[in-house]
Amino acid sequence: MRQSVKIGITSYANIKARTIAIAKGQYKPRPGEPKLWLTSFKSLASALSAENQELLKLIREQQPESIAQLAEITGRKTSNLSRTLKTLERCGIIALKESRTKTQPGGRAPVKPVVLAERFDFEFVL
């Protein structure tokens, strides 16, 4: 089952104050609060562009075993795809997990993109 990601939208000052309060032990996030906070819908809209929605659908349906395999499927350059996937990972939309396929030269296992979230809930804090 895919999870729902709760995203908070608030000012940078609020995000900073909240983060500091958590680090100092002055505030404990409640269950159900957003784990991801952004300063605008613009940054979220960029992550969930039509192109990235298609990419997420393709990852879910094709289940590529590596970023290189995903690059072959999409026709996109690996470096460009890696940047996009890292952004989606920061937003909690995908995970980049170690693949179970054979390791690459140098002993590193390929990284496999996995879709985590297909639903998004929003909370606005002014």
Please report, for residues 20, 43, 58, 89, the alpha-carbon distance to residue 34 in angstroms, rounded to integers and kept in the order given.
Answer: 16, 16, 27, 15
> In terms of Cα–Cα distance, which of 72, 106, 108, 77 is closest to 96?
108
Question: pTM to 2 decimals?
Answer: 0.74
In tens, the pLDDT along 44-82 reads: 888 889 999 999 999 999 999 999 999 999 999 999 999
Q: CATH number of the domain that 50 lies in?
A: 1.10.10.10
Please report, for residues 25, 65, 78, 103, 118, the alpha-carbon distance to residue 71 in angstroms, rounded to integers and kept in the order given.
Answer: 43, 11, 6, 18, 22
In tens, the pLDDT along 24-48 reads: 999 999 988 988 888 888 888 888 8
Q: Supply the pLDDT for residue 6.
A: 85
Give yes or no for a contact between 91 and 44, defined as CB atoms under 8 angstroms apart: yes
In tens, the pLDDT along 93-119 reads: 899 998 776 655 666 778 899 998 888
Give yes or no for a contact between 7 and 120, defined as CB atoms under 8 angstroms apart: yes
Q: How confident is the model at residue 1 (pLDDT cuts 50, 70, 90)?
A: very low
Strands (E), the chain: 3-9, 36-38, 94-98, 111-115, 117-124
Tally of domains in the chain: 1
Look at strands 36-38 and 94-98 and give their pairing. Answer: unpaired
Range of the domain at 118: 3-124
Which of 4 and 16 is assigned the larger pLDDT? 16
Question: How many residues in the chain?
Answer: 126
